[in-house]
Structure 1
Amino acid sequence: MTAVVLALTAVALVLGVVAFALKAGSTLEIVLSGLMLVCVAAAGIVLLAGDGVVGWREAWWNILLLIAGSLAVAGGGPLTTSVLALVDRGNTRSQSTQQAGEVLRGGALIGSLERGAIFASMVAGWPEGVAIVLAIKGLARYPELRAPDQPASVTPQAVAERFIIGTFTSVLWSIACAGVLLSR
């Protein structure tokens, strides 16, 4: 069971890194992100079918910690952009969340830091850290979300939508990656 879980999370990490290198929103990125999600879900099912990580040697658990933490940070970016690309299908240019990314600059870096902090707080057994991370992010982004001087090519609704969808996807992904480690 240990080898299967480690292999599934390692494959998910490789898929996430490859997807990260692709053009945001491309069909291949969406497919790889979906496969990455399937690998993490499969690892979770294997852990739930067994005894979780109870009884694992510490060295194997530490390897899983490293892989899952890397996956939370690196894999969340392609997954989030894939979800946003799927949301954008059929939207006009002014409603596009991709256009809204021009207003919310630094989203990829902020998202990576957010996922790392959420993963760490969950693994450390301090879920209150999620609320702190979200509060800091919300307060820091509030001026951009309510700025009256946004480009005419982007609607305020698209900016808010990108913020909410991106944040939820990112947070849920981090918690799912931490959940693999915390299965008992």
Structure 2
Amino acid sequence: MSPINGALPITLYWVAVLVLAVGCLAAIGIAHWRKRNRIIVIAAALLAVDLVLVSIPSPESPIWVSIALGILAMAIAVLGGGIASNYVLKLSTRGLVRPGLFGGIIVTEPERFGNSLRANAGEQHEVLRGGRTIGYLERFATAGTLIAGFPEAVAVIIAIKGVGRFTELAAAEARERFIIGTFTSLTWATSSAALFHFAML
């Protein structure tokens, strides 16, 4: 039973939910435009407030609200997760990891691999290339499957990404970046999808 009753309070409730979602997306857009990842903190705060709002037992949403919230949730998931991941990675690595030319990072080949010496030990090369594009696809797939009601597919998404990156994780900084980036990206995508899911309950 929803505590919100009456046509006007229900309308104001859904307008507030949509305004917060639009504000979150606007903050993400500003972060992209101004190249300032720290603005993602504002977007995260707006998303959190919106999640609290939709977690209240809510009246049935009109179809236009469902459609708008679904589109906004997908946009927030896909566009915001990359900025959030970059921001968290910069905080965790203190900006000491060198970016590569193709979206990855520059690492030094480990001296040993298992019990044998590597022929190219000490050589620097780029790993985790294409991370931005993979992140967009990962968050799109994650949010899409959650919104569609198939949370089991998230395990498949994680498995595909892990298998695809396995050979690039010899260096400690690559493993750290992979784990932190993936967890941040998935957390952002699932939180965005939860915005739609809770609103539809």
TM-score above 0.5, yes or no: yes
In 2: Cα distance, 1:21 partner to 1:105 partner: 23
1:21 equivalent in alignment to 2:33? yes
Which protein is richer in strand relative to its size?
2
1:87-131 alpha-carbon deviations (Å, 9 max, x no partner) = 122x7x4xx375762411110110010000000111111111100
Matched AA of 1:134:
I
1:1-58 alpha-carbon deviations (Å, 9 max, x no partner) = 11111011111111112212344xxxx421x10000000000011112x324x41101
Residue of structure 2 equivalent to 1:38: 45
Residue of structure 2 equivalent to 1:64: 69
Matched AA of 1:181:
F
In 2: Cα distance, 1:97 partner to 1:67 partner: 33
Instruction: Point out where structure 1 has 5 or more consecutive residues left out of the alignment.
Output: 147-155
In 1: Cα distance, 2:23 partner to 2:16 partner: 10
In 1: Cα distance, 2:65 partner to 2:175 partner: 41
In 2: Cα distance, 1:138 partner to 1:44 partner: 29
RMSD: 1.6
Secondary structure in 2 matching 1:36: helix
In 2: Cα distance, 1:62 partner to 1:43 partner: 17
1:8 equivalent in alignment to 2:23? no
Query: For the Cα contact (< 8 Å) 1:97–1:159, is it kept in 2?
Result: no
Aligned partner of 2:57 among 44, 47, 51: 51
Residue of structure 1 equivalent to 2:193: 178
Residue of structure 2 equivalent to 1:108: 132
Instruction: Point out where structure 2 has 5 or more consecutive residues left out of the alignment.
Output: 1-12, 106-125
Residue of structure 1 equivalent to 2:173: 158
Query: For the Cα contact (< 8 Å) 1:118–1:171, is it kept in 2?
Result: yes
1:133 equivalent in alignment to 2:157? yes
Q: What pairs with 1:84-99 in structure 2 (closer than 5 Å)?
A: 84-89=89-94, 93=96, 96=97, 98=99
Residue of structure 2 equivalent to 1:152: none
1:169 equivalent in alignment to 2:184? yes
Query: For the Cα contact (< 8 Å) 1:88–1:97, is it kept in 2?
Result: no
Query: For the Cα contact (< 8 Å) 1:84–1:97, is it kept in 2?
Result: no
In 2: Cα distance, 1:75 partner to 1:115 partner: 9
Which protein is richer in helix relative to its size?
1
Query: Runs of at least 4 residues of structure 1 off by over 3 A?
Result: 97-100
Secondary structure in 2 matching 1:126: coil
Query: For the Cα contact (< 8 Å) 1:84–1:98, is it kept in 2?
Result: no
In 2: Cα distance, 1:136 partner to 1:172 partner: 17
Q: Per-residue deviation at 1:68?
A: 0.8
Q: What is the number of equivalent residue pairs in this alignment?
A: 164
